[in-house]
C-alpha cells in the first residue's frame, strides 16, 4: 500500500508540473526486503539496518556508519558526541547563517548555542574569512554545510579548526557524492551527517546517518541514539530515541544498489543546467562547479541579481505558471526565522545570507528528469527574460 501510494503521489506531482522538483526511487530489491521484514514480524532495528550502515560507510570512505531516524537527529547526536570530548552544556558551535533550519535546531537540541557566520553568495557556503571572528573560549566545533551539494572550503575550515583546537562536523545532508580536492565530502572532518529524506540521492524515505573514522565517537553515537544506553541497561549519557527501522533500511539498501545510476544521472542533469545558465550570467548567480570539486547533485540553485529589473517572486511565479516546480533558497536562520529572535540578531547582520534568501530559489535535477525537460527549463527562462529583464 505504501509503495502504491508513493507511486500515486509521484504521478500526481508529474501531472501538475512538467518539471517536478523531486522523486523517490523504490527498487524491486527494496520491495523484496520490505516484504521479508514484514513476514519476519521484526521491523525495528535489525540485520538490514546493520547492513545498510556498513554499506553506506564503505561507499563514503568511513570506518563507521551509525543510522538514525532523520538527518536532524544525525546533526544533533554528532553535536552531543562532543560531551565525551570535554564539551559542556552552553558551549558554542559555529554554523552558517544560510542553511535549512535543522542545522541550527540540532545545535540547540544537543544543548549548545549556535553561533552563526555569514556565507558567500557565489558558493552559498560559510565564509571562512569570517569564522575566526566568531570563535570564543566557549567554541567547541565548526559545522560547515555543503549546501546544495556544493563543497564548503574545507582546507580553510580545517586549518582554522586545527589552529583553535576545534572539532569539525560536516553537515553533508545534501552532499551525497560530493568531492573536494579528491576527497569525499563527509570524510574530511571528524564526523559527518547525512540526511536520507525522500529528496536525497540515497533515501530511506525518512532517516539519517553519521559517519566517522573515530572509534570513540562511533561508540558515543551508538549510545546516544538509544537513550544514552550502554550494555543491557546502563544509561551513561543523556541520549535520544532516534533509531532507524528495518523498512527504512530496506529502501536505503535498494538505493545503494542503484547509487551510481542515480548519482550519474543527477550529475548529468546538473552539468546540463550549468551549461544552459552560463548565458544568463548577467541575470542570475547559479550554482557552478569549480575544477577542484565535484558537486553532489542535490538541486540547482538560482539567485536573481540586483539590477535585473525583476524580482525573485516574479521569476518563481513564471516558472510555476509554466510547470517548473521550485523551492525557496532557505533563510538566514538568525534574522529571517522567527524562532531565533531570542539570539538578538536583527536584519542586516548577515547580509549575504539574507540576500540569498530574498533572491534565491532552487529547482530539481533528480534522476527522473530527462534532458528534454531541462531544455524546457532553459526555454522558459529565455521567454521570461524577454518579457521581464531590463
pLDDT (tens, 9 = 90+) of the chain, 390 residues, equals 333 433 434 444 445 789 999 888 899 999 999 999 999 988 888 899 999 999 999 999 999 999 999 999 999 999 999 999 999 999 999 999 999 999 999 999 999 999 999 999 999 999 999 999 999 999 999 999 999 999 999 999 999 999 999 999 999 999 999 999 999 999 999 999 999 999 899 999 999 999 999 999 999 999 999 999 998 889 999 999 999 999 999 999 999 999 999 999 999 999 999 999 999 999 999 999 999 999 999 999 999 999 999 999 999 999 999 999 999 999 999 999 999 999 999 999 999 999 999 999 999 999 999 999 999 999 999 999 999 997
Looking at the domain assignment, is residue 5 inside a domain?
A: no
CATH number at residue 135: 3.40.640.10
Give the pLDDT confidence score for residue 15 in this predicted structure: 53
Residues 138 and 282 in one domain: no
Residues 289 and 172 in one domain: no
Give the pLDDT confidence score for residue 11 in this predicted structure: 40
Alpha-helical regions (H) of the chain: 2-16, 28-40, 47-59, 71-80, 102-109, 154-164, 215-224, 246-257, 259-277, 312-321, 333-336, 351-359, 371-388
Give the pLDDT confidence score for residue 12 in this predicted structure: 42
Residues 336 and 244 in one domain: no
Residue from 313, 312, 309, 352 nearest 332 by CA: 352
Residues 251 and 263 in one domain: no
Looking at the domain assignment, is residue 1 inside a domain?
A: no
Structural domain for 251, as ranges: 22-257
Residues 101 and 187 in one domain: yes
What are the residues whose beta carbons fall under 8 Å from the beta carbon of 341, sequence distance 6 or more?
none
Residue 377 grid coordinates: 527549463
Q: What DSSP letter does each residue of 56-78 carry, written as one string?
A: HHHHTT-SEEEEES-HHHHHHHH
Looking at the domain assignment, is residue 54 inside a domain?
A: yes
Residues 247 and 150 in one domain: yes
Residues 67 and 180 in one domain: yes
Residues 207 and 67 in one domain: yes
Q: What DSSP letter does each residue of 214-282 carry, written as one string?
A: -HHHHHHHHHHTBTTEETTTEE-S---B----HHHHHHHHHHHHTHHHHHHHHHHHHHHHHHHHGGGTT
Give the pLDDT confidence score for residue 390 in this predicted structure: 79
Looking at the domain assignment, is residue 13 inside a domain?
A: no
Give the pLDDT confidence score for residue 3 in this predicted structure: 39
Total tally of structural domains belonging to the chain? 2
Residues 338 and 309 in one domain: yes
Looking at the domain assignment, is residue 133 inside a domain?
A: yes
Give the integer Cα–Cα distance in Å for 105 and 102: 5
Residues 249 and 308 in one domain: no
DSSP assigned state of 46: S
Model-level pTM? 0.93
| Residue for grid cell 562536523 | 169
Residues 236 and 101 in one domain: yes
User: From its phi and psi, is residue 207 left (phi > 0), alpha (psi between -120 and 50) or beta?
Assistant: left
Amino acid at each position: 500500500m505504501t509503495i502504491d501510494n508513493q507511486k500515486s503521489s509521484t504521478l500526481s506531482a508529474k501531472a501538475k508540473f512538467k518539471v517536478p522538483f523531486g522523486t523517490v526511487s523504490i527498487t524491486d530489491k527494496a520491495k523484496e526486503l520490505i516484504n521479508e521484514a514484514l513476514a519476519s514480524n521484526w521491523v525495528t532495528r535489525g540485520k538490514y539496518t546493520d547492513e545498510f550502515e556498513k554499506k553506506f560507510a564503505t561507499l563514503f570512505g568511513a570506518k563507521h556508519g551509525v543510522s538514525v531516524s532523520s538527518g536532524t537527529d544525525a546533526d544533533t547526536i554528532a553535536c552531543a558526541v562532543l560531551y565525551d570530548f570535554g564539551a559542556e552544556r552552553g558551549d558554542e558551535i559555529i554554523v552558517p547563517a544560510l542553511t535549512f533550519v535543522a542545522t541550527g535546531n540540532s545545535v540547540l537540541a544537543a544543548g549548545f548555542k549556535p553561533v552563526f557566520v555569514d556565507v558567500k553568495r557565489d558558493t552559498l557556503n560559510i565564509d571562512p574569512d569570517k569564522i575566526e571572528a566568531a570563535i570564543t573560549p566557549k567554541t567547541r566545533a565548526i559545522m560547515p554545510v555543503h549546501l546544495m551539494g556544493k563543497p564548503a572550503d574545507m582546507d580553510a575550515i580545517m586549518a582554522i579548526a586545527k589552529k583553535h583546537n576545534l572539532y569539525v562536523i560536516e553537515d553533508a545532508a545534501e552532499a551525497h557524492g560530493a568531492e573536494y580536492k579528491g576527497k569525499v565530502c563527509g570524510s574530511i572532518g571528524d564526523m559527518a551527517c547525512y540526511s536520507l529524506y525522500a529528496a536525497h540521492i540515497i533515501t530511506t524515505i525518512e532517516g539519517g546517518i553519521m559517519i566517522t573514522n573515530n572509534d570513540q565517537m562511533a561508540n558515543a553515537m551508538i549510545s546516544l541514539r538509544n537513550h544514552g544506553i550502554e550494555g543491557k541497561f546502563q544509561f551513561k549519557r543523556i541520549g535520544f530515541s532516534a533509531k532507524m527501522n528495518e523498512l527504512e533500511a530496506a529502501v536505503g539498501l535498494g538505493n545503494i544498489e542503484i547509487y551510481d545510476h542515480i548519482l550519474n544521472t543527477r550529475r548529468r542533469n546538473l552539468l546540463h543546467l550549468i551549461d544552459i545558465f552560463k548565458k544568463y550570467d548577467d541575470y542570475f548567480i547559479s550554482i557552478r562547479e569549480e575544477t577542484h570539486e565535484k558537486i553532489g547533485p542535490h538541486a540547482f540553485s538560482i539567485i536573481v541579481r540586483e539590477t535585473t529589473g525583476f524580482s525573485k517572486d516574479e521569476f518563481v511565479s513564471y516558472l510555476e505558471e509554466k510547470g517548473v516546480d521550485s523551492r525557496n533558497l532557505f533563510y538566514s536562520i538568525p534574522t529571517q526565522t522567527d524562532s531565533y529572535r531570542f539570539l538578538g540578531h536583527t536584519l542586516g547582520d548577515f547580509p549575504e545570507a539574507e540576500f540569498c534568501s530574498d533572491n534565491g530559489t532552487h529547482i530539481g535535477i533528480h534522476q527522473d528528469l530527462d534532458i528534454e525537460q531541462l531544455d524546457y527549463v532553459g526555454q522558459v527562462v529565455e521567454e521570461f527574460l524577454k518579457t521581464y529583464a531590463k
